[in-house]
Amino acid sequence: MLLDPGSARLSPASSPFLAAARRQQLQDRVPVWFMRQAGRSLPEYRRVREGIPMLESCARPDLVAEITLQPLRRYGVDAAIFYSDIMVPLLAVGVELDIVPGRGPVMAHRFAGEADLAALRPVEPTDVGYVTEAVQILVRELGEVPLIGFAGAPFTLASYLVEGGPSKDYARTKSLMVGDPELWDALCRRLADISAGFLAAQVAAGASAVQLFDSWAGSLSAEDYGRYAQPYAARVLQRMAELGVPRIHFGVGTAELLPLMGAAGADVVGVDWRLPLSEASRRIGPAYAVQGNLDPALLGAPWPVLAERVRAVVRSGALAPGHIFNLGHGVPPDADPAVLGRIVDLVHEEGPKLRREAGAQPADGRGSP
């Protein structure tokens, strides 16, 4: 399973990914990884997952390690993302749920009131021993390649609990948060502690960075995000600051929320495909690196057209204090792995030249102009 026989003797401390996360625009490497790079688009993933339910696959350290490593072997990306699901910590503390193929997370019982808070206790290390074991395996095998731990942000977790599953309009969620702000506060504080505990377990086992996914934050106005979501994301990210690892904060449809998402405590703000990275960086300011943001819907376009879009993302990201190339959302299940491999090669081979041509800031460790 080792990527390189000598990788266990190496450290990710000087990796291009971590440098970019710390606002250092390296001149010789543009780091790249893909959200959902380990998953349904890979035939090797489908083979090892055959007949194994999603949540069970997340609880088997050997399988977690194998799936996490698959895109590293195939693409040579600059970071690995821990294979898990944002529902795992809720399941670990006793919430009854399932991930239904074709639908997503479904709760056995919707969160309905104060009585349901009792089920949401903090995550203890003993609750997620399989996570610790899997991360330890991966850190040994990844060597100099960083491992990103991840968790769901409180607003997104709350939306699943309150709605009972996926939703198009989050009507129940929004009604609760504005109609009973005290209950909403109690719910989100508990979810923040659950997410923070889940991330802390990954960092303690050796993860080099974390990403907080607020997948549905884009359904909120900036005012509502600032009042009902940002404080709880900040509670998670502050805990990670105490652990000393770079923090990535990402949501979909969040162009109007980016400054608030950065202010919640991010080092890197993930940007979806709706806004150029240069404009995103202008909005959030020089204290943050950016991640993104090729539109995943374009992966099926003819290669010459797609390649120009990739180059445009690199050029736009060059104007930020730090840039990690990624998609603007996760890899679609029908994506051609060969296309993703070509994107990685293009970013690695042409990225430094494109960055110089765009006038990227030199790496000074401060992210200053």
Is 227 labeled as catalytic in the residue annotation? no
Give yes or no: 49 in active site. yes
Give the pLDDT confidence score for residue 360 in this predicted structure: 57
pLDDT of residue 12: 87
Domains identified in the chain and CATH numbers: 7-358 (3.20.20.210)
pLDDT tens track for 233-271:
999 999 999 999 999 999 999 999 999 999 999 999 999
Residues of the chain with pLDDT under 70: 1-10, 360-369
Q: Is 160 a catalytic residue?
A: yes
Judge whether 23 counts as a catalytic residue.
Answer: no
Query: Is 288 tagged catalytic?
Result: no
Beta-carbon contacts of residue 265 (< 8 Å; ≥ 6 apart): 233, 234, 237, 238, 240, 241, 247, 249
Output the pLDDT for position 24: 86
**Per-residue pLDDT reduced to its tens digit, 281-314:** 999 999 999 999 999 999 999 999 999 999 999 9
pTM confidence score: 0.93
The beta-carbon contacts of 157-162 under 8 Å, at least 24 apart in sequence, are 157/86, 157/90, 157/191, 157/194, 157/195, 158/111, 158/184, 158/187, 158/188, 158/191, 159/216, 160/87, 160/105, 160/107, 161/90, 161/95, 161/107, 161/110, 161/111, 161/116, 161/187, 161/191, 162/110, 162/111
Read off the DSSP letter of residue 126. Answer: G
pLDDT of amino acid 25: 77
Q: Tell me if 295 sits within 8 A of 263, measured CB to CB.
A: no
Looking at 29, 60, 85, 180, which residue is catalytic? 85
Residue 8: the pLDDT is 44
Q: What's the confidence (pLDDT) of residue 368?
A: 34
